[in-house]
Amino acid sequence: MTSLRSVGDSDPPVVGSDAELVTGDAEQFGLLFDRHAGALHRYCAGRVGAEVAEDVVADVFCVAFKQRDRYDADRANALPWLYGIATNLLRRRWRQEAARYRAMAKAVPPLAGGDEPALRAVERTHAAEYVRLITSALGQMPRRQRDVLLLFALADLDYGEIATALAIPVGTVRSALHRARKRLRDVLPAHADTSQEMTS
Protein backbone atom coordinates (compact mmCIF):
# COMPACT_ATOMS: atom_id res chain seq x y z
CA MET A 1 0.00 0.00 0.00
CA THR A 2 1.35 3.40 -0.96
CA SER A 3 1.63 5.68 2.05
CA LEU A 4 1.34 9.44 2.22
CA ARG A 5 4.78 10.98 2.31
CA SER A 6 6.27 14.45 1.85
CA VAL A 7 9.15 14.61 -0.57
CA GLY A 8 10.20 18.06 0.54
CA ASP A 9 8.90 21.22 2.14
CA SER A 10 7.76 22.66 -1.20
CA ASP A 11 6.63 19.39 -2.77
CA PRO A 12 3.00 18.21 -2.52
CA PRO A 13 2.36 14.89 -0.80
CA VAL A 14 2.39 11.78 -2.95
CA VAL A 15 -1.13 10.38 -2.94
CA GLY A 16 -2.26 6.93 -4.01
CA SER A 17 -5.58 5.60 -5.24
CA ASP A 18 -8.84 6.12 -3.42
CA ALA A 19 -8.58 2.58 -2.11
CA GLU A 20 -5.24 3.40 -0.52
CA LEU A 21 -6.69 6.53 1.07
CA VAL A 22 -9.73 4.70 2.44
CA THR A 23 -7.61 2.00 4.02
CA GLY A 24 -4.93 4.41 5.22
CA ASP A 25 -4.75 6.51 8.36
CA ALA A 26 -6.99 9.44 9.31
CA GLU A 27 -4.77 11.98 7.53
CA GLN A 28 -4.91 9.99 4.30
CA PHE A 29 -8.67 9.63 4.65
CA GLY A 30 -8.86 13.42 4.88
CA LEU A 31 -7.35 13.61 1.39
CA LEU A 32 -10.30 11.53 0.17
CA PHE A 33 -12.54 14.39 1.35
CA ASP A 34 -10.44 16.90 -0.60
CA ARG A 35 -10.70 14.72 -3.68
CA HIS A 36 -14.46 14.03 -3.72
CA ALA A 37 -16.32 16.47 -1.46
CA GLY A 38 -17.03 18.88 -4.34
CA ALA A 39 -18.74 16.26 -6.51
CA LEU A 40 -20.75 14.94 -3.56
CA HIS A 41 -21.80 18.46 -2.60
CA ARG A 42 -23.09 19.17 -6.11
CA TYR A 43 -25.17 15.97 -6.05
CA CYS A 44 -26.58 16.63 -2.58
CA ALA A 45 -27.20 20.31 -3.30
CA GLY A 46 -29.17 19.32 -6.38
CA ARG A 47 -31.45 17.33 -4.10
CA VAL A 48 -31.68 19.28 -0.84
CA GLY A 49 -30.02 22.66 -1.43
CA ALA A 50 -26.51 23.91 -0.69
CA GLU A 51 -26.84 24.51 3.06
CA VAL A 52 -28.28 21.10 3.89
CA ALA A 53 -25.83 19.51 1.43
CA GLU A 54 -22.90 20.69 3.55
CA ASP A 55 -24.23 18.74 6.53
CA VAL A 56 -24.97 15.68 4.40
CA VAL A 57 -21.48 15.65 2.88
CA ALA A 58 -19.89 15.95 6.33
CA ASP A 59 -22.05 13.03 7.48
CA VAL A 60 -21.04 11.01 4.41
CA PHE A 61 -17.38 11.18 5.35
CA CYS A 62 -18.07 10.42 9.01
CA VAL A 63 -20.01 7.31 8.02
CA ALA A 64 -17.41 6.35 5.41
CA PHE A 65 -14.58 6.64 7.94
CA LYS A 66 -16.46 4.44 10.42
CA GLN A 67 -17.20 1.88 7.70
CA ARG A 68 -13.85 2.01 5.91
CA ASP A 69 -13.07 -1.58 6.92
CA ARG A 70 -16.00 -2.67 4.69
CA TYR A 71 -14.60 -0.96 1.61
CA ASP A 72 -13.64 -3.23 -1.29
CA ALA A 73 -9.96 -2.38 -1.74
CA ASP A 74 -10.06 -3.78 -5.29
CA ARG A 75 -12.05 -0.71 -6.31
CA ALA A 76 -9.61 2.10 -7.04
CA ASN A 77 -12.38 4.74 -7.27
CA ALA A 78 -14.28 5.36 -4.02
CA LEU A 79 -16.73 7.90 -5.44
CA PRO A 80 -19.56 5.42 -6.22
CA TRP A 81 -19.26 4.06 -2.67
CA LEU A 82 -19.48 7.61 -1.29
CA TYR A 83 -22.49 8.37 -3.49
CA GLY A 84 -24.15 5.27 -2.06
CA ILE A 85 -23.65 6.53 1.48
CA ALA A 86 -24.92 9.98 0.47
CA THR A 87 -28.01 8.45 -1.12
CA ASN A 88 -28.77 6.47 2.03
CA LEU A 89 -28.49 9.63 4.12
CA LEU A 90 -30.64 11.62 1.69
CA ARG A 91 -33.46 9.08 1.94
CA ARG A 92 -34.12 10.44 5.42
CA ARG A 93 -34.50 13.94 4.00
CA TRP A 94 -37.13 13.32 1.34
CA ARG A 95 -39.50 15.88 2.86
CA GLN A 96 -36.80 18.56 2.68
CA GLU A 97 -36.02 17.54 -0.88
CA ALA A 98 -39.67 17.74 -1.96
CA ALA A 99 -40.04 21.13 -0.23
CA ARG A 100 -37.01 22.39 -2.12
CA TYR A 101 -38.50 21.35 -5.45
CA ARG A 102 -41.71 23.20 -4.58
CA ALA A 103 -39.77 26.33 -3.62
CA MET A 104 -37.84 26.16 -6.88
CA ALA A 105 -41.11 26.07 -8.80
CA LYS A 106 -42.25 29.29 -7.14
CA ALA A 107 -38.98 31.01 -7.94
CA VAL A 108 -38.82 30.06 -11.62
CA PRO A 109 -38.05 33.20 -13.69
CA PRO A 110 -40.16 33.98 -16.75
CA LEU A 111 -38.99 32.75 -20.14
CA ALA A 112 -37.31 35.14 -22.57
CA GLY A 113 -39.82 37.48 -24.11
CA GLY A 114 -42.27 37.16 -21.24
CA ASP A 115 -42.44 40.85 -20.36
CA GLU A 116 -46.18 41.08 -19.85
CA PRO A 117 -47.36 40.39 -16.28
CA ALA A 118 -50.10 38.02 -17.51
CA LEU A 119 -47.60 35.98 -19.55
CA ARG A 120 -45.16 35.83 -16.63
CA ALA A 121 -47.95 34.54 -14.40
CA VAL A 122 -48.84 31.80 -16.90
CA GLU A 123 -45.18 30.79 -17.27
CA ARG A 124 -44.71 30.57 -13.51
CA THR A 125 -47.89 28.55 -13.18
CA HIS A 126 -46.69 26.12 -15.84
CA ALA A 127 -43.27 25.79 -14.22
CA ALA A 128 -44.80 25.27 -10.78
CA GLU A 129 -47.14 22.60 -12.12
CA TYR A 130 -44.27 20.89 -13.95
CA VAL A 131 -42.17 20.73 -10.78
CA ARG A 132 -45.19 19.63 -8.74
CA LEU A 133 -45.79 16.73 -11.12
CA ILE A 134 -42.13 15.68 -11.09
CA THR A 135 -41.98 15.93 -7.29
CA SER A 136 -45.16 13.91 -6.98
CA ALA A 137 -43.82 11.28 -9.39
CA LEU A 138 -40.53 11.05 -7.46
CA GLY A 139 -42.42 10.77 -4.19
CA GLN A 140 -44.56 7.92 -5.50
CA MET A 141 -41.66 5.98 -6.99
CA PRO A 142 -40.27 3.05 -5.09
CA ARG A 143 -37.16 4.19 -3.27
CA ARG A 144 -34.80 2.21 -5.51
CA GLN A 145 -36.20 3.72 -8.71
CA ARG A 146 -35.87 7.24 -7.29
CA ASP A 147 -32.32 6.63 -6.09
CA VAL A 148 -31.23 5.17 -9.44
CA LEU A 149 -32.85 8.00 -11.40
CA LEU A 150 -31.28 10.75 -9.28
CA LEU A 151 -27.83 9.15 -9.28
CA PHE A 152 -28.08 8.92 -13.06
CA ALA A 153 -29.45 12.44 -13.59
CA LEU A 154 -27.69 14.46 -10.88
CA ALA A 155 -24.46 12.55 -10.21
CA ASP A 156 -24.02 11.47 -13.85
CA LEU A 157 -23.03 7.95 -12.83
CA ASP A 158 -23.09 5.14 -15.36
CA TYR A 159 -24.97 1.88 -14.75
CA GLY A 160 -21.96 0.12 -13.25
CA GLU A 161 -21.21 2.99 -10.86
CA ILE A 162 -24.86 3.15 -9.75
CA ALA A 163 -24.78 -0.60 -9.17
CA THR A 164 -21.70 -0.14 -6.98
CA ALA A 165 -23.21 2.83 -5.13
CA LEU A 166 -26.42 0.98 -4.25
CA ALA A 167 -24.91 -2.52 -4.00
CA ILE A 168 -27.32 -3.94 -6.58
CA PRO A 169 -26.80 -5.77 -9.90
CA VAL A 170 -26.39 -3.75 -13.10
CA GLY A 171 -29.52 -5.43 -14.50
CA THR A 172 -31.50 -4.09 -11.56
CA VAL A 173 -30.16 -0.60 -12.28
CA ARG A 174 -31.30 -0.87 -15.90
CA SER A 175 -34.80 -2.03 -15.02
CA ALA A 176 -35.21 0.52 -12.20
CA LEU A 177 -34.10 3.37 -14.46
CA HIS A 178 -36.43 2.18 -17.23
CA ARG A 179 -39.39 2.09 -14.83
CA ALA A 180 -38.52 5.49 -13.33
CA ARG A 181 -38.33 7.09 -16.78
CA LYS A 182 -41.66 5.51 -17.73
CA ARG A 183 -43.28 6.97 -14.62
CA LEU A 184 -42.05 10.43 -15.59
CA ARG A 185 -43.18 9.98 -19.20
CA ASP A 186 -46.62 8.94 -17.97
CA VAL A 187 -46.89 12.16 -15.93
CA LEU A 188 -45.26 14.83 -18.08
CA PRO A 189 -47.12 14.49 -21.41
CA ALA A 190 -50.40 15.27 -19.63
CA HIS A 191 -48.81 18.45 -18.28
CA ALA A 192 -47.52 19.39 -21.73
CA ASP A 193 -51.03 19.08 -23.18
CA THR A 194 -52.43 21.20 -20.35
CA SER A 195 -49.78 23.85 -21.02
CA GLN A 196 -50.77 24.04 -24.68
CA GLU A 197 -54.45 24.40 -23.78
CA MET A 198 -53.71 27.16 -21.27
CA THR A 199 -51.66 29.20 -23.76
CA SER A 200 -53.96 28.75 -26.75
For residue 61, the model assigns a pLDDT of: 95
CATH code for the domain in which residue 19 is found = 1.10.1740.10
pLDDT digits (tens, 9 = 90+) for 27-63: 889 999 999 999 999 999 988 888 889 999 999 999 9
82 contacts 102 by C-beta, under 8 angstroms:
no
Q: Comparing C-alpha atoms, which of 38, 35, 37 is closest to residue 12?
A: 35
pLDDT digits (tens, 9 = 90+) for 62-103: 999 999 999 998 898 999 999 999 999 988 887 777 776 666
Is residue 5 in a domain?
no
- Residues 54, 73: one domain? yes
Choose between 107 and 27: higher pLDDT: 27
- Rounded Cα–Cα distance for residues 9 and 42 (Å): 33
- The whole domain housing 172 covers 94-200
Is residue 4 in a domain?
no
CA atoms within 13 A on the CB side of 56: 31
Q: Does residue 13 carry a pLDDT above 70?
A: no
Q: Does residue 14 carry a pLDDT above 90?
A: no
For residue 51, the model assigns a pLDDT of: 85
- Rounded Cα–Cα distance for residues 142 and 153 (Å): 17
